[in-house]
Amino acid sequence: MFALVDCNNFYVSCERVFDPSLHGRPVVVLSNNDGCIVSRSSEAKALGIPMGVPFHQWETIMARKGVQACSSNYPLYGDMSRRVMGVLAASAPEVEVYSIDEAFLSLSAFPLDGLSEMARELAGRVVRWTGIPVSIGIGPTKTLAKAANKLAKRGLGAGGVLNWREEPSPEERLASLPVEDVWGVGMRLKAALERMGVRTALDLARMEPDRLRRRFNVCVMRTALELRGVVCYPLGSDPPLREAIVCSRTFGGPVSDFSALREALCAYTARAAEKLRRQHSRAHLLHVFLMTNPFQPDQPQYANAALRTFPAPTSHTPALLRAASDGLNEVFRSGYHYKRAGVMLAGIVPDSPVQGDLFAVDDARSERLMRAVDRINGEWGRDTLAFAATGIARPWKMRQRRLSRRYTTRWDELPVARIS
């Protein structure tokens, strides 16, 4: 049996942990540069505020209805996610972290008759130790656990837990679940399935597996089998290597200065290099790209990209920074107001074994340097040690006018309790 633990309205819940005045109020969290709504409290959903809409289109309405809007506070969310996952890891023998606010658990070590009660105790432990409420779905496959979690979020389970094994009519539950709510079914696949008469999870489960494999692919076939209770996706503690790592941001305002653009690009490259080393891998290729704002057609438009290759795959930040700066030199054109830039690392391979380069510098020394930098930043916070090329003031950074404090990752922003 599997469990899918999903944090409820995660970004909003993180904001509420340290600001009790937000409890019971409609709250939304905004995307980069305070652009779109990416998380909503239950109260905000009840007001009819949709997901993904531009904030400026709803700002007046939300102000009139007393909705609190918060800028995305990624350091806070990342640390709260780490705490939640730590509680889960201490409570189950195997945990697969699926996203920042979701994780699959193996329940094979627990008696079947006590799974629901164990899950409710776990949900209570998570909210008690971290302040984050969660919903838990339990099922014989990961796809059914995900479906059970979806139904639990709708209030169909006791205490935020729904156990597929205890459902009196599992087929009725599947029939109530639209096919687009099935794990792995996106909008394009939904449209194709609907043309075949598949509109619910039950319809998909009843499809002939070989027909699905011939019409689509083996993944769609496995999804249908999992809805029948056949395990096709075992728990994986080690996620597969990313085939590419992209780090890109929309600037808080237009950037025309070459130095500021290079500084931003170097900051993104350093961040991508951290992600590369975290998954114990290296990259053969580095893509640099930049563009102006396509939503301002009255302004001169320009977009371009450059590719750099390495003789041997690397995760050494200085080497990646040099390549990114060189690529920017190639594609930068003065006279434009740039809105976005970024870097993509590709040709990713494991960091061991790696075929070396006869004329390369001492790779072992570079590895020790990167390990030391990562260890210090991991212990004392991001950018405790930073490369000068990534800048200090960073005037190009994204706009966050409604940013809360980074309560758990900055000494100067720790919450303060006052006794009167």
Could you report the per-residue pLDDT of 308-324, keeping only the tens digit for each? 999 889 999 999 999 99
Does 219 score more than 70 pLDDT? yes
* Helix locations, 179-257, DSSP H: 187-195, 201-205, 209-215, 218-227
58-62, 242-246, 272-276, 285-289: least confident range? 242-246
Domain boundaries, the chain: 7-75, 77-228, 245-390
* Pair 344, 287: CB distance under 8 Å: yes
Residue 397 burial class via C-beta count within 10 angstroms: exposed 0-12, middle 13-18, buried 19 and up? middle
Sheet holding 68-70, edge to edge: 37-40, 27-30, 68-70
- Of 383, 365, 361, whose CA–CA distance to 374 is shortest? 383
End-to-end CA distance of the chain: 51
Cα–Cα distance measured from residue 319 to residue 324, given in angstroms and rounded to the nearest whole number: 9
- Residue 360 clears pLDDT 60, i.e. is over it: no
**Beta bridge partners of residue 69, listed in sequence order:** 28
Q: Residue 107 is which amino acid?
A: L
Q: CB of 55 within 8 A of CB of 70?
A: no
Q: Which residues pair with 163 in a beta bridge?
A: 138
Mean pLDDT to the nearest integer, 32-46: 91
Q: What is the pLDDT of residue 395?
A: 76
Q: Using one digit for the tens of pLDDT, what is the confidence trace for 199-209?
A: 999 999 999 99
Burial label, 63 (beta-carbon count in 10 A; 0-12, 13-18, 19+): exposed
pLDDT computed for residue 62 by the predictor: 92
**Whole-number Å distance between alpha carbons of 153 and 147:** 10
Over the stretch 372-414, which tens digit does the pLDDT of each residue have?
Answer: 999 998 888 778 888 999 888 777 776 778 888 888 877 788 8
Omega of the bond leading into 209 within 30 degrees of 0 (cis) = no
* Section 8-19 average pLDDT: 94
In the predicted model, is pLDDT for residue 355 greater than 70?
Answer: no
Percentage of the chain exceeding pLDDT 90: 58
The 8 Å CB, 24+ separation contacts for 202-211 are 202/171, 202/174, 202/175, 202/177, 202/227, 203/179, 204/179, 205/174
> Which residues pair with residue 139 across a beta bridge?
2
- Asked if residue 64 has pLDDT above 70, the reply is yes
Instruction: Give the pLDDT mean for 150-162.
Output: 86
Query: Domain 77-228 classified CATH 3.40.50.2300?
Result: no
Indicate if 245-390 has the same CATH topology as 77-228: no
Report the mean per-residue pLDDT for the chain: 89
Query: Burial level of 217, CB count in 10 A (0-12/13-18/19+)?
Result: exposed
- Integer Cα distance of 271 and 389 in angstroms: 13
The percent of residues in the chain predicted with pLDDT above 70, rounded, is 96
Beta carbons within 10 angstroms of residue 202's beta carbon = 18
CA–CA dist 10, 132 (Å, integer)? 7
Say if residue 353's pLDDT is above 90. Answer: no
Higher pLDDT, 249 or 330: 330
Q: In what order do the strands lie in the sheet with 134-139?
A: 95-99, 102-106, 2-7, 134-139, 161-163
Q: Do residues 224 and 207 lie in contact, with contact meaning Cβ atoms separated by under 8 Å? A: yes
The pair of structure tokens assigned to 278 is: 């975290």
CATH of domain 245-390: 3.30.1490.100
Confidence band of 241 (pLDDT split at 50, 70, 90): low
Query: For residue 184, what pLDDT is reported?
Result: 85
The highest-level CATH class for domain 7-75 is alpha beta
| Residue with the larger pLDDT of the pair 174 and 410 | 174
Contact criterion met (CB below 8 Å) for 262 and 281: no
What pTM did the predictor assign? Answer: 0.76
Amino acid identity, position 91: S
pLDDT at position 237 is: 45
Q: Is 193 a residue whose pLDDT tops 80?
A: yes
d(CA 233, CA 225): 10
Provide the 3-class DSSP secondary structure of residue 30: strand
For residue 82 the two structure tokens come to: 């780490």
- Measured CA to CA in angstroms, residue 364 lies from 72, 310, 351 at distances of 38, 17, 12
User: Is residue 354 pLDDT above 70, yes or no?
Assistant: no
